[in-house]
A and B are shown apart, each in its own frame.
Chain A
Amino acid sequence: MSILKTTKTALLGSVLAMGFASGALAEDYTITVWSGGTGETGSYRWEAIQMAADILEREYAVTGQDVSITVEHQEWSGWDDFKQAVTLAAEAGNAPNIIVSGHEDIGPWSRSGLLRPVEDYVDFDAWPLSQIYPNLIDIASYDGVVWGLPQDAEARPFFFSRAHLAEIGYSQEEIDALPQRVQDGEYTLYDMLDDAKAMQDKGVVAERRGFMPRVNNGTDYWQFYVSFGGDMVDPETGKLVLDRQALTDMYQFFVDAADMGVVSSTHLGTTWDDWHQAVSSDQVGIWHGGTWHKAEWEAKWGLEDFFGEIQYSLIPAGNERGRANTISHPLVYLLSNTGTDDDAVIASELITIATEPRIAALHAVKSGKVAIGSEEAKVPVFANDRWSSIATTELLPYATAVPNDIDFGVVWKAMYAGLESSWTGTSSVEDAVNTVESEVTGQLGDAIIVR
């Protein structure tokens, strides 16, 4: 984990002592990269840095500097362990130079002094950063400071089995028109439940397989809160918001779904494995996931004809208060305070190169993500990939993101705990909402507005 760097002055001394004319100085850098939530399809989260290191070494070489960069990486498939490792390593003063994490970590990590502001190291007016979508730069900012560079972005669509929709009486035209109806708010979450129930009643999918939401905690569940008209942040004051009505409706929706029998009441906490298996082999009527799941289903689960078998849309609105939406959860490259300023410079140059269109496109196509910049969308490997383009043009414009607020973790934890307890029936919806409210007001006081 140590950063071995010979300082220039020491080197200079030795070079002079050996009687060389001052020329190229050899500099060795070891840059460590840790990335979270990185499965098999996400390997470019660190491979991009390795490619960048190769390019950067060559750039230095042609300008007459001898710089050698070693990239060490470690990836975690989950988030809990990864964030724990980063936090503890940072406390112990040996965090990795580059951290690839969700943008929501910027709040707490920047406050604790773990991060260096990226804006102090890179030039956003110069290519390639100049072509990155501005809303992604906003997501990577906190308190008016840009802390990270976007690493990838995605959207989280709803998925429908075309075959099962047809089996309950949808015509092909109706199936094709479904995304538009969802977007216009005509087709709501409750219509979706009815369809899921109809599929089960017809026996085309098994009990509790009509609707299969995400199996564990994730950004996805905030989409349902938005579907029922909830705001996470008050646009005027910038404070966090907890919308009681939206939370109640959202909890009630999952309770209703469980009562109808289209999803198990203990669905949360089951395994991804079983979920992937079921949705990719057409055993499920309707589900929601991420754009990147398509890549996984094709790579690991033997899905062959995605567009022929599956229809996608935004997350439907829940009622009149809400709207159809999707949440993007961009990952960002962050610079830690580890090492010297020169290490940070090298790290910042590496992550800048890693956002270049061609390199970013490799990750986007391999893992089913959307483009992070306008030029990337033109890279052939990306432009010719139907799914990547669709996700970028049809889904991303409607995407919001969870706030970068330091205290959002508290709200998130409480929201998910309430969702678990109401969904499993351990407490009533009303009690769950009250618990969330007392939890967040107890911990955050007037830093959060409860409506």
Chain B
Amino acid sequence: MKNRANGLGLVLMAPAVLLLIAFFLLPATLTGIFAFTNMSTSTGISGGAYVVTETVLRKLEATDLDPKLRAGLGEKSYTVNAETLAAATSADIEPGFLAEIEDRLSGKTYAASSAFEDDLKSLPSRPRRIRDLKLATEPFERSVINTRYPDRGQFEAALQTFLPAATKADLETIATASYTGWTWTRDNFIDLFTRADTLRLVANTVFYVCATLAFNVFVGLFLAIAVFYLPSRAGGVFNVLWLLPRITPVVLYAIMWKWFTWENGFLYVAAEDLGLPAFNYMKGSVPTAWATVILVNGFVGASFGMILFSGALRAIPIQQLWSSEVDGANRWQQVTRIILPQMRWPILFVTSYQTLSLLSSYELIWLTTNGGPGSTTTVWSLEAFHTALNNYTGNLQYGLGAAMALILVIVGLALSILYLRLFRFNELVSKPKIEF
């Protein structure tokens, strides 16, 4: 019986566990792994290849590789001889065409593909498609430069036929320089800890989280208490109004704020009418940009505090308030002496809960100021996103971005464990009531 129940439990849990492993655990692990690589657009994610290019040759100048070998690496030629003709025969080139090549071009060597192609074009049975002509040149090519070798074995084999003089150590040097994929490195973290920008990012993030939290908690508290004292109909209107930002899709919400703060927007026109400085408040100055960012996020977050605090208020025994009124306390004294002391836990809860979501949420900032003006309102998570996935030059640095994300993940984990400790987790995980 017990085993059966266990079995059922596992069956019922399986889909959840699978999904959570695939889309939580695995990505988190991958993030941790990426953080220690130099992955980027140019290295690709799924491994690399070996290719010698002019850039690689330049890189090799700084090594102790024999200059003769270096020069050999850069050589490129096309030769028509018995060996290459044999290679061409097995390469599926049209026999008639091949016969003409053997007949007319045997013994010739070309330094550039264009010269060879010109001669091929002059042959009567040349292929009509230019691509076929180009493919026909390949078996005759004697060079490694600009050829992509998918793995080390093939690359070294090619090098050995082409540069017989190269030693094992030489091959190692060349292969290291020619590898296009990613390598393991700790540089991302070193980079992050030494960059001047990091400090500013951290400061921005701390400021953003603290200011938005303060707004959320104070406004949430004020709303809850004010609505508590209002007749229920008026209170209900405000309740609904403040919940709207929570359920409004982010994109529309961002557009509404643009309309509110941009040139020729609501505030702009109002300020013009009043003779105040009118400009694009969202992007036009650092203080107004910060104010916008904090308000945009704060208006969404305040309702969370409002709901929780309202619940906590309703839990306060009403007799306490009545008796205080009998003692002649006014509203203000009621709030400060009775209500606020009992709000300690809810406030702590809201604070810790929202710290986490604010630390990691960049969606609204991205859609409003996008970290501008300059990078004055760029926070850590937004910068990580830009670094890894979305920037103008398009060279996405997965490794560095993952390192930034990993730091955020660690901070997030530490905070969430801390707050589980705070809120007496053991009560939440007490054993199920029925056990067989």
Q: Are chains A and B touching in the complex at the 8 Å CB cutoff?
A: yes
Residues of chain A whose beta carbon lies under 8 Å from any beta carbon of chain B:
63, 79-84, 86-88, 91, 101, 104-105, 107-109, 111-114, 117, 120-126, 143-145, 216-218, 237-239, 264, 266-271, 274, 341, 345, 348, 406, 408-410, 412-413, 416-417, 420-421, 423-424, 426, 431, 434-435, 438-439, 442-443, 446
Instruction: Decide yes or no: A409 and B195 within 8 Å by CB, A266-B284, A269-B370, A269-B373 being known contacts.
Output: no
Smallest CB separation, B373 vs chain A (Å)? 3
Residue pair A274, B394 in contact (C-beta under 8 Å): no
Residue pair A143, B53 in contact (C-beta under 8 Å): yes
Residue pair A107, B376 in contact (C-beta under 8 Å): no
Additional 8 contacts, C-beta under 8 A, given A84-B394, A345-B131: A80-B390, A91-B45, A101-B394, A109-B42, A238-B58, A345-B129, A416-B392, A442-B194
Residue pair A270, B44 in contact (C-beta under 8 Å): no
Residues from chain B with Cβ under 8 Å of A271 in the complex: 262-263, 280, 283
Instruction: Decide yes or no: A87 and B394 within 8 Å by CB, A268-B372, A426-B200, A426-B376 being known contacts.
Output: yes
Residue pair B196, A435 in contact (C-beta under 8 Å): yes
Interface centre among B58, B191, B394 (most CB of A within 10 A): B394
Residue pair B191, A413 in contact (C-beta under 8 Å): no
Residue pair A406, B194 in contact (C-beta under 8 Å): no
| Interface residue total, chain B, C-beta cutoff 8 A | 55
Residue pair B197, A417 in contact (C-beta under 8 Å): yes
Residue pair B130, A145 in contact (C-beta under 8 Å): no
Residues from chain A with Cβ under 8 Å of B49 in the complex: 113
Interface majority SS (helix, strand, loop, mixed), chain B: loop
Residue pair B196, A144 in contact (C-beta under 8 Å): no
Instruction: Decide yes or no: A108 and B41 within 8 Å by CB, A83-B394, A239-B58 being known contacts.
Output: yes
Closest to B113 in A: A119
Residue pair A439, B376 in contact (C-beta under 8 Å): no
Residue pair A409, B395 in contact (C-beta under 8 Å): yes
Separation of A39 and B378 alpha carbons in the complex (Å): 28
Residue pair B134, A442 in contact (C-beta under 8 Å): no
Chain B 196-237: CB-based contact to A (< 8 A → 1; otherwise 0)? 110010000000000000000000000000000000000000
Residue pair B134, A424 in contact (C-beta under 8 Å): no
Separation of A125 and B374 alpha carbons in the complex (Å): 47
For window 256-270 of B, CB contacts with A under 8 Å fall at 262-263
Residue pair A424, B286 in contact (C-beta under 8 Å): yes
Residues from chain B with Cβ under 8 Å of A408 in the complex: 393
Residue pair B191, A443 in contact (C-beta under 8 Å): yes
Residues from chain B with Cβ under 8 Å of A439 in the complex: 195, 197
For window 75-100 of B, CB contacts with A under 8 Å fall at none
Q: List 8 A-B contacts (CB under 8 A).
A: A83-B393, A83-B396, A84-B394, A84-B396, A266-B285, A266-B289, A269-B372, A269-B373
B66 beta carbon closer than 8 Å to chain A: no
Closest to B196 in A: A435
Residues from chain A with Cβ under 8 Å of B125 in the complex: none
Closest to A86 in B: B394
B391 beta carbon closer than 8 Å to chain A: yes
Picked from A105, A111, A217, the residue with its CB within 8 Å of the CB of B180 is A111
Residues from chain B with Cβ under 8 Å of A63 in the complex: 128
Closest to B400 in A: A443
Separation of A417 and B371 alpha carbons in the complex (Å): 12
Instruction: Decide yes or no: A107 and B42 within 8 Å by CB, A125-B114, A266-B283 being known contacts.
Output: yes
For window 41-65 of B, CB contacts with A under 8 Å fall at 41-46, 48-49, 53-55, 58, 62
Separation of A423 and B4 alpha carbons in the complex (Å): 70
Closest to A419 in B: B374
Residue pair B390, A264 in contact (C-beta under 8 Å): no
Residues from chain B with Cβ under 8 Å of A268 in the complex: 372-374
B154 beta carbon closer than 8 Å to chain A: no
Separation of A269 and B44 alpha carbons in the complex (Å): 30
Residues from chain B with Cβ under 8 Å of A442 in the complex: 191, 194-195
Smallest CB separation, B301 vs chain A (Å)? 25
Closest to A237 in B: B58
Instruction: Decide yes or no: A274 and B393 within 8 Å by CB, A266-B374, A420-B374 being known contacts.
Output: no
Instruction: Decide yes or no: A87 and B41 within 8 Å by CB, A79-B394, A121-B131 being known contacts.
Output: yes
Separation of A36 and B298 alpha carbons in the complex (Å): 35
Residues from chain A with Cβ under 8 Å of B41 in the complex: 87, 108-109, 112
Chain B 108-138: CB-based contact to A (< 8 A → 1; otherwise 0)? 0000001001100000000011110010000
Separation of A108 and B395 alpha carbons in the complex (Å): 7
Picked from B55, B130, B396, the residue with its CB within 8 Å of the CB of A122 is B130
Residue pair B374, A421 in contact (C-beta under 8 Å): yes
Residues from chain A with Cβ under 8 Å of B46 in the complex: 91
Instruction: Decide yes or no: A274 and B280 within 8 Å by CB, A108-B395, A410-B395, A443-B191 being known contacts.
Output: yes
Separation of A341 and B131 alpha carbons in the complex (Å): 9
Instruction: Decide yes or no: A91 and B196 within 8 Å by CB, A112-B180, A345-B131, A409-B394 being known contacts.
Output: no
Instruction: Decide yes or no: A144 and B54 within 8 Å by CB, A108-B40, A268-B374, A443-B191 being known contacts.
Output: yes
